[in-house]
Chains A and B, each alone.
Chain A
Amino acid sequence: MTKHFLGLGVLLAVGIVYPAIFPNYLTIAISVLLFAGWATSWDLLGGWNGQVSLGHASFVGLGAYFVAIGQSRFGLAPWWTMAMAAAFAAALGYFWGWLTFSLRGPYFSLSTIAVAEILRLVAINEEWLTGGATGVFIATLPEPFGIDLFSRVAQFYMALAFAAVVVATVIVISRARFGYQLRAVREDEDSAMAAGIDPTTTKLKAFMLSAALTSIGGGIYGIVLAFIEPHVIFALLLSVQIALTAIIGGRGTIWGPAVGALVLIGAGEMFRTTFAEANMLIYGILILVVVLFVPRGIVGELARRRIRRLYAKRAQG
């Protein structure tokens, strides 16, 4: 655990000086950090607990809308609305889990697609609150300690803090009782019950925590975008991107989702300039490569090899 926290500390230090060194590459760094945080949050449910969600754009969107509507209509500061979004996302996760966790395997995943679809329709139809299909615009933001939240540097640090908090949460959970309950339920629900674990409660807790964390990143994303449109934020594409980021990086590993974010966003950005739809192409190719050659994801495969080497050595000596 100390090893992981040390790694996180080093990355944080790099992050803190990053804006001074690469002031022209802040937007892409914000993308990487937000996706790292979202994918890591997703992984609590999808990787550690084995319940693949294809609806996490819902929670991103909730966070963004709460911040935007709170600010523009009620003059509520983002930190209050992010907390409210987190509570609402957790409640929605609880409700959806309660409704669907009796569905096994792919059926749960498919059902999650509906969540974002429903929210998108609500956002389009409840125009009085959400601005309908046109969306909401954040025109002003508070300036805590004189910090301009519209500046990319401030947004970068918010995204950095978000990603760091989520990774730290997973580091702690990975060693704790809850982390083992998550994995036990993923591996074998009957065996988990024989160890006194309630599979449904475990999955609900995972869903709630995953949703709440994701929505906080969504709130930051709302500030970054400043203009929130329902079809962009509650998009299946975003849900799929979040899931793929974690899967390609390595499900159920501490650093996998963050590595996935770096690889996917980095590669996507590099090719975008030469070929507009490059993102989709990159995703397509990466999915193929991962499914065929590294089913455990990048970090998952590396960890596996390390354990194998360790045992090969021990068996000889």
Chain B
Amino acid sequence: MPNVLRADGITVKFGGVTAVNNVSLSLGSGEILGLIGPNGAGKTTLFNAVTGFAPVHSGRITLLDKDITALPAFKRTRLGFGRTFQTERPFEELTVLENVLIAAFLTAGRRSEAERLAMNVLEQVGLADRAHQPALDLNLARRRRLELAKALAVRPKVIFLDEIMAGLNPPALREMIAFVRTLSTQGLAVLMVEHIMEAIIELSDHVIVLASGEKIAEGTPQQVTSDERVIEAYLGTD
């Protein structure tokens, strides 16, 4: 499978602390890459580094063979990245529709066109009936779906999902898993951080395990879940 996204030897430092140390990953279209690891392992930081929200100390990131390492986050979005934030970050003063509209305006020039795209995405994530509600008023499950809708509305080639399943009740979780599956069948490359192993095992083509900023294992879900270092890393922190 041709690579859509490649990250080679990514290192992120905050002051003297190395949050991510020499981690590489690659991802093809329609592929789902799961990123797991104990709390504080550096998963979100790796996401941020690849999407341009954290400074990369060393390493190289390419999107469709174009070097994007030096580009600011908004330019990476324009080239095909969509992302959610682990703690949802809606534009609180605006309505649900307006939130998604802002992202839709990236590819849609006219308002009518942007509105159509935004409504379309809201229908996909099941928020169409909330379109005119202030984003501030949504409950957790709906805030997650809004976060997802915003990421999708930029029409990304690669989508970064940071723990969008955390805290969902079982039916909502099943829905979300099915939804991520449809995204990949539509050809989107998916990179997801998740603590819920059910989702990781069911969805991931490939899994990378981080602990203390290092990649300690990778492979199929079955390979990594039976890996001793992985079990140790998880038990070690509990």
Q: Specify whether A and B are partners.
A: yes
Q: Is A25 an interface residue (CB 8 A)?
A: no
Enumerate B103-130 residues with CB–CB distance to A below 8 Å.
Answer: 103, 105-106, 109, 111, 114
Give the docked Cα–Cα distance between A254 and B79 (Å).
34
Task: Classify chain A: how many residues form its interface, as a range.
Answer: 20 to 34
Cross-chain contact of B91 among A176, A177, A188, A196 (Cβ < 8 A):
A188
Give the docked Cα–Cα distance between A181 and B104 (Å).
11
Q: Is B167 an interface residue (CB 8 A)?
A: no
Q: How far is the CB of A199 from chain B (nearest CB, A)?
A: 8
Over the window 79-118 of chain B, the binary record of Cβ atoms lying under 8 Å from chain A Cβ atoms (1 yes, 0 no) is 0001101000111111000100111011001010010000
Cross-chain contact of B102 among A190, A197, A198, A311 (Cβ < 8 A):
A197
CB–CB B77/A177 < 8 A: no
Contacts of A197 in B (CB 8 A): 74, 102, 106
Give the docked Cα–Cα distance between A184 and B150 (Å).
12
CB–CB A194/B77 < 8 A: yes
| Contacts A175-B111, A177-B111, A187-B91; A194 near B85 (Cβ below 8 A) | yes
Q: For chain A, what secondary structure do more than half of its interface residues adopt (helix, strand, loop), or is it mixed?
A: helix
CB–CB B105/A181 < 8 A: yes
Q: Is B151 an interface residue (CB 8 A)?
A: yes
| Contacts A190-B85, A307-B134; A195 near B102 (Cβ below 8 A) | yes
Q: How far is the CB of B68 from chain A (nearest CB, A)?
A: 14
CB–CB A193/B93 < 8 A: no
Contacts of A193 in B (CB 8 A): 52-53, 72-74, 77
Give the docked Cα–Cα distance between A186 and B92 (Å).
11
Can you name the residue of chain B whose Cβ is closest to the Cβ of A300? B93
Can you name the residue of chain B whose Cβ is closest to the Cβ of A198? B74
Q: Is A125 an interface residue (CB 8 A)?
A: no
Q: Is A191 an interface residue (CB 8 A)?
A: yes
Contacts of A196 in B (CB 8 A): 74, 77-78, 103, 106, 154
Q: How far is the CB of A300 from chain B (nearest CB, A)?
A: 10
Give the docked Cα–Cα distance between A254 and B68 (Å).
40
Q: Is B223 an interface residue (CB 8 A)?
A: no
Give the docked Cα–Cα distance between A115 and B56 (Å).
36
Contacts of B51 in A (CB 8 A): 194
Can you name the residue of chain A whose Cβ is closest to the Cβ of B135? A187
Q: Is B58 an interface residue (CB 8 A)?
A: no
Over the window 49-62 of chain B, the binary record of Cβ atoms lying under 8 Å from chain A Cβ atoms (1 yes, 0 no) is 00111000000000
Can you name the residue of chain A whose Cβ is closest to the Cβ of B78? A196
Give the docked Cα–Cα distance between A283 and B150 (Å).
41
Can you name the residue of chain A whose Cβ is closest to the Cβ of B103? A195
Give the docked Cα–Cα distance between A192 and B154 (Å).
11
Q: Is A56 an interface residue (CB 8 A)?
A: no
Q: Is B137 an interface residue (CB 8 A)?
A: yes
CB–CB A184/B91 < 8 A: yes
CB–CB A183/B72 < 8 A: no
Give the docked Cα–Cα distance between A53 and B111 (Å).
30
Give the docked Cα–Cα distance between A196 and B101 (Å).
12
Give the docked Cα–Cα distance between A183 and B98 (Å).
10
Interface centre among B73, B82, B154, by most A CB within 10 Å?
A: B73
Q: Which residues of A contact B (CB under 8 A)?
A: 175-177, 180-181, 183-184, 187-188, 190-199, 252, 307, 311
Q: Which residues of B contact A (CB under 8 A)?
A: 51-53, 72-75, 77-78, 82-83, 85, 89-94, 98, 101-103, 105-106, 109, 111, 114, 133-134, 137, 150-151, 153-154
